[in-house]
Structure 1
Amino acid sequence: MRITFATAEFSPLVTVGGLAAASAGLVSALRRSGIDVDVLLPDYSSATDGIIETIELDVPIWAGPAVVKVVDHPQAGRIHLVDAPGLARSDPYVQPNGQGWLDNTDRFMRYSAAIAAYVRLSQPDVLHLNDWHTATALADLDPAPPTVLSLHNLAYQGATGGDWLDLIGPRSRHYEWWGGTNPLSGAIALADRVIAVSPYHVSEITQEGQGFGLEEPLRARGNTLGGILNGIDTTVWNPEQDPHIAERFSAADLAGKQRCRQKVVDEFDLADDNSLLAVAVTRLTDQKGIDLVLPLIELLDEIPLRLVVLGSGDRMLSQKLSAAAERSDRFAFIDGYDEALAHRLIAGGDLFLMPSRYEPCGLTQMQAMRYGTIPIVTAVGGLVDTVPDLDAHPRTGRGIVMSDISSTALVSAVHRVVRRCAGRKIDTLRKRVMSIDWSWDDPASEYIKIYRDISN
């Protein structure tokens, strides 16, 4: 079976958010299962080295010229880089000033036209599209191969003016949306299967007011809309082999985790006592809810707790966190992102804070549990599927679920977990969460079943 897998991000070549890790993780697992996968990715850097083959694409005049550069990447494997007007940029989505590129819709519709041209040329058994960046490919494919559309973040839809309806292809009427063009709504209507990135998220996005305006077309899909939980790369996130952490450890021998915690305490000059260490690795956006930790910081002496936050994004929130860190020896804030530091924090933490307001799947809570770091989460999206509450499920619980999305609920959740994790109880819980298989093997099997169902 041969799959064409089109995405806007693919780790480690292009990483902005969870789409990159999800794309790379699934493709790697599919290839291990014997599936032949052609990965299509925009050529953001205008690659000139390591090109094995160049394929000219027959695209509409407005979308071209376009070519595919086939390269073998040492980590990602074989990748088909799409070179079309406007795709090459320093960042896939945003300008240096933080604002989105003004021609993002044009760029990714050209990319989608190139995807359609490649599909006509290569005739795959199944086409797998990801998010709005690839969605208008189906407008230009008539007939189209059996198609899966994965929804990683429904909040971004690429909606634009109605003039695009005359350009994108013979099935463009499906993309008409309130007088304009909506790439995602059209692909939701045309794909054979639509897959959200967690089962619980399906129930969210089909409820009025939670599907970012697309509730009706999503509900219309019936049983062809489903949810498959993402996995994580368990070779990269492996406490027994991790090169970034102070000492490696396992569920059978947790001594190294205590040394990892001490390393974090020393690195950030935190109060050196026996209180629990909470960490957060996140983006500073409203979606991630990190603003909710500000009142918690003022209570760290009373709880007691120590906290380290690693993240970048909103400047005002960053300033508030930096000011709080200057006032406390129980809190540290690092403005930015560093992969090795993320590993050190997750390995050294006792608790992992994830107070998201919206989380289609979430990956960092899985990474945290892989390292025996207990998550505190909100009851949204994939967090519901991955973190049953300890009090509600004493034998199978994996963390603490906040009663609502508020600072008060976060403080209450921290108090609950501090009580639950007293003494040696936390080691029992660590071993429980470390035993869970978060790999891509099961999700890949579910996708393969869907590929076979729709291609037959």
Structure 2
Amino acid sequence: MRVLMVAAENDRLPNCKVGGVADVIRDIPYALAKHQVETLVVVPDYGQPELNRNFVCDIAVPFRQHLETATLWEVKQADGVIQLVISHSLFSEHGGAVYCNDDGQRPFATDATKFAFFSAAVSEAIEHGLFGHLDVLHLHDWHAACVAVLKEYSPRFVKLKMLKTVYTVHNLALQGIRPFNYDDSSLEAWFPTLSYDGQVLCDHQYPHCFNPMRSAIALCDKVHVVSPNYSEEVLQSSEPDRGFFGGEGLEHDMQIANRYGKLIGILNGCEYPQKQSLPKPDVTEFLNTSEQTLFVWMARTQQLKSSHYIAHQRVKMWLTIPSSGPLITSVGRLTDQKALLLRQTTDAGIVLDDLAKITARSSGRLIVLGSGDAHLEDVFTQAMARNDNLLFLNGYGQSLGDMLYDIGDLFLMPSSFEPCGISQMLAMRSGQPCLVHQVGGLRDTVAHFESGFVFSGEDLHQQKTQLLNMFTQALDLYDNDSERYDQIRDGAQAKRFEWDNVALSYINSLYTP
């Protein structure tokens, strides 16, 4: 069996990772190859000059009433996987950025055009046999959804129509919605001769707009979400005011997919490298690395960010005054998906303030690593200024994240929704119990008082209250029953979410009838 995976991110390549989808695309093809599934992976090249590539072919792509030329390159071929990229000026004109941030008046405009062209180039390459014989086409997130649209509605793509098509939803909150017409970044601007069914492709809330994600859910043979529990949550309507995030406006489409046996929930996996004899880093090593990283971040702008200045002062203080208590860690993008509960108001300020104060009672410290929403960055910086035992590192570095997984005593992941989650798996792999919200993949991976701590709640008020209560219980256990806490730590480290098992589920549930 030969499978072509089409995605926007791939952590096998340099500078081609933003979120968790890159980890999946990095790992699952090699797990599939162990089961005799040859996998080809194609992503845009984003103009990366350091790619060692071999020319395959130029591709003539009709797009926006012009015939554009894209180029297909092979990057590497090993272990049953072929890594490919497609180059074009649309992918390289933004300095190698995977995604661009358009203003609120035209959301997704730049990226939607870029990925519509990418989808068209992939479709042309399939039609001309540039990938060789294929059995399954596996599309990932809204960025690859236009391939499904062209497969269904363009009479030009005969070979494409013959392929079984699987669609994986990694992030239902981002759907890539654009107008049908009257805009440079619209379906009819990209494909002016395409005859399509607007009832199938339109967004429910904005019926004059094209919704790529909804389109792919409707048009693909299988729809895959990345945890079993999340496959149940997406059938329900989101209620953000009470803190529940489900189908995000596409619950009706998910219900139809479920009714026809198309909707499948398969948990993502995690890599478990062989144990090395190298000692784990300690807190002092982490703080020294943090100081060096902060200098790099500071040098990127002429004006010093307050978050970096306060963090540097905090690192210097912590280096001179060691802590005897627990180290609480958190790693992730600063978005409301991850931080909605942490920014809820309390008598102390926000929930993050309360967590810092509870940690202080155990003589502990709390480290948050992440960047994202500018308002959340400001809110977290202000909380850091109010709490001497809180360090907020406003950025991201792979080495810093890896070290936090190793040195922490409790990992905090109170996401309001989490389709699967990888951070909790990485923390557990290092023997760090996690405190998580009972949603999505977090519910599927963390067992309460066995491998971590789980809270829930019917609305935002209950959720923040139960988060604080469970956090207090976890630290009380850490302080007063170290044997029980170590059992939970061992339970976390013993859990396994092997890609090998995930690959078998892909083959049996997604790729074969």
Class of the TM-score when normalised by the shorter of the 2 chains: 0.7 to 0.9
Question: In 2, distance between residues paired with 1:242 and 1:151?
Answer: 38
1:352-399 Cα shifts (integer Å, max 9, x gaps): 000111211110001011011010011111111111212xxxxxx321
- Is this contact kept in 1: 2:167–2:224, CA < 8 A? yes
* Within-5 A mapping of 1:55-454: 55-62=57-64, 64-72=68-76, 78-88=82-92, 89=94, 90-95=96-101, 102-120=109-127, 121=129, 122-142=132-152, 143-163=161-181, 164-166=186-188, 167=191, 169=194, 173=198, 174-177=200-203, 178-209=207-238, 210-221=246-257, 222=259, 223-235=261-273, 240-241=275-276, 247-248=279-280, 260=282, 263-264=285-286, 268=315, 269-270=317-318, 272-289=322-339, 290-291=342-343, 292-390=351-449, 397-404=450-457, 405=460, 406-421=463-478, 422-454=481-513
CA distance in 2, matches of 1:277, 1:49: 39
Q: CA deviation at 1:95?
A: 4.8
Q: Deviations over 1:156-214 (max 9, x none)?
A: 11111112555274555532331321111111111111000111111111102321111
User: More deviation in 322-331 or 226-235?
Assistant: 322-331
Answer whether contact 1:93 1:100 (CA < 8 A) is retained: no
Which amino acid in structure 2 is aligned with residue 194 of structure 1? Answer: V
Rounded Cα–Cα distance in structure 1 between residues aligned with 2:470 and 2:393: 24
Using the alignment, how far apart are the partners of 2:51 and 2:26 within structure 1? Answer: 21
Q: Cα distance 1:333–1:97, how it changes in 2: closer, same or farther (>3 A)?
A: farther
* Secondary structure at 2:84 match in 1: strand
Evaluate the alpha carbon distance shift between residue 105 and residue 11 of structure 1 in structure 2; reply closer, same or farther with a 3 A threshold.
same
**Contact 2:115-2:143 at 8 Å conserved across structures:** yes
SS class of match (1:59): strand
Larger deviation, residues 276-285 vs 192-201: 276-285
**Aligned AA for 1:112?**
S
What SS does the corresponding residue of 2:498 show, helix, strand or coil?
Answer: coil
- Give the distance between the partners of 1:182 and 1:195, measured in 2 at CA: 18
Report the residue type matching 2:178 in the other structure: T
Alpha-carbon distance in structure 1 between the residues aligned to 2:53 and 2:323: 55
Change (3 A) 1:354 1:242: farther
In 2, Cα distance between equivalents of 1:19 and 1:100? 21
For residues 339 and 77 of structure 1, do their structure 2 counterparts lie closer, same or farther at Cα, with a shift above 3 Å needed? farther
1:284-318 residue CA offsets vs partner (Å, 9 max, x unmatched)? 21111243423322343235532111111233433
Q: Greater shift after overlay, 69-78 or 102-111?
A: 69-78
Q: Contact 2:223 / 2:264 at 8 angstroms: preserved in 1?
A: yes
**Is the CA contact 2:352–2:383 (under 8 Å) kept in the aligned structure 1?**
no
Q: 1:155 to 1:203 in 2, by over 3 A?
A: same
Count of residues in Structure 1 that have an aligned counterpart in Structure 2: 432
Question: Is this contact kept in 1: 2:338–2:414, CA < 8 A?
Answer: yes
Task: Show structure 1 runs of 5+ residues with no match.
Answer: 249-258, 391-396
Distance in 1 (alpha carbons) for counterparts of 2:55 and 2:34: 24
Deviation at 1:131, TM superposition (A): 0.4
> CA 1:288 to 1:54, structure 2 compared with 1: closer, same or farther past 3 Å?
same
> Is the CA contact (8 Å cut-off) linking 1:294 and 1:321 kept in structure 2?
no
Per-residue deviation, 1:17: 0.7
Deviation at 1:85, TM superposition (A): 4.7
Q: Is the 8 A contact 1:265 1:272 kept in 2?
A: no
8 Å Cα contact 2:33/2:81 also seen in 1 = no
Kindly indicate whether the alpha-carbon contact (under 8 Å) linking 2:63 and 2:117 is maintained by their aligned counterparts in 1. Answer: no
Judged with a 3 Å threshold, the aligned counterparts in structure 2 of structure 1 residues 172 and 260 are, in CA distance, closer, same or farther, namely: farther
TM-score, normalization by structure 1? 0.86
Contact map agreement 1:65 1:85 (CA 8 A) in 2: no
The one-letter amino acid paired with 1:400 is F
CA distance in 2, matches of 1:319, 1:61: 42
Residue 12 (structure 1) shift: 4.0
Task: State the one-letter code of the partner of 2:134.
Answer: P
- Over 3 Å counting, the alpha-carbon distance change for 1:212 and 1:144 in structure 2 is farther
Q: Secondary structure at the match of 1:337?
A: coil
Offset of 1:5 from its aligned partner?
Answer: 0.5
Name the SS for the 2:359 alignment partner. coil
Measured after TM superposition, the shift of residue 8 of structure 1 is 0.2
- Indicate the residue corresponding to 1:256 in structure 2: none
Query: Aligned-pair distance for 1:260?
Result: 3.1
Instruction: Give me the CA root mean square deviation.
Output: 2.8
What residue identity is the alignment partner of 1:398? S
> Using the alignment, how far apart are the partners of 2:46 and 2:22 within structure 1?
14
Indicate the SS of the match to 2:71: strand
Match of 2:298 in 1: none
- Other-structure match for 1:11: 11
Q: Tell me if structure 2 keeps the 8 A contact 1:94–1:100.
A: no
- Aligned 8 A contact 2:39 2:80 in 1: no
Match of 1:356, SS state, is: coil
Deviation at 1:133, TM superposition (A): 0.4
TM-score, normalising length: structure 2: 0.77
> C-alpha offsets along residues 410-445 of structure 1, whole Å, 9 cap, x if unaligned?
221111112333222222222211111123111111
Structure 1 residues 38 and 328: CA distance shift in structure 2, 3 A? same
Note the alpha carbon deviations across 1:54-104, whole angstroms, 9 max, x for none. 223343243732221112289996321112451223312125999976422
Q: Percent identity?
A: 30
C-alpha distance in structure 1 between counterparts of 2:372 and 2:63, whole Å: 38
Q: Is the 8 A contact 1:5 1:127 kept in 2?
A: yes
> Could you tell me whether the CA contact under 8 Å between 1:140 and 1:170 is conserved in 2?
no
Distance (whole Å) between structure 1 residues aligned to residue 33 and residue 417 of structure 2: 31
